[in-house]
Structure 1
């Protein structure tokens, strides 16, 4: 099911969490919230929207991380019912697209629920005090050719790093619905 993300709730405070990646390493939001902010993106392996932006996401995340903005990805799908989203497949997916950021497992889906994540990809850009400032899309290329794209997410995160505030105008991300446990 195709969904759009809700409008940014500016100033909403990020709930803290501790999650592991597919290799068993632990990451905590409070430790990842750097002085220039943090981007969290909810993704999964099987979604065609995520697959289409996978390389662009990896490139954009590398740029942000080089500028001191931290990046985390979280997989919240019910991988018991969608085996392609399993932790083992997360390792393969991360390697395939060249992710250099942690790709975390939200097995009980509590983090996706706390954050109000609705689709993959779903971007959350936080300032250095953990206040939500971006809930938009990666770029304007959508599912099309990305050669002349405008990276709205990079521009937003750079603005947040510089001023603590996100852009007033944001275009929602769109993607597949999160596969909730029943």
Structure 2
């Protein structure tokens, strides 16, 4: 069941995507339940669908995936599942988790991103194929998620802060810190 917080944040992300389309930063915006992404096994041509909350198809044809953590933010196994699924999609620029702003949730998200990325590299996946350095989390407090417009403004402000830092180092998890 989708909560009011989840729906408001998701709608705010869609508004951000529509703004990016006008600014020529993105080509399209999709809700994952309307247009899922496919995880493909190229040897057998089998596939599994992954339904992120929202994703943008960027100008470079890569995907920027957004996951809204609401009831699942306290369940690390669900965060891990989202990380693995998003990392297995072809041409992903990054995955952004939007969460309620509590420190334990941020730690859970970061631990999942770091552990899965390091595990995939250890298993032989080329590090350049993992969208780790463009992935992270953005807090949107429940009391601030009063409308999709407000959420869009919060996301815009945070993304501008991220982009003003060299290479987005404020956003991406400090990988060396966890090694």
Q: Which has the higher contact order (CA 8 A, sep 6+)?
A: 1
Whichever of the two has the greater Rg, that structure is: 2
Greater helix percent: which structure?
A: 2
The normalised TM-score by structure 2 is 0.34
The normalised TM-score by structure 1 is 0.33
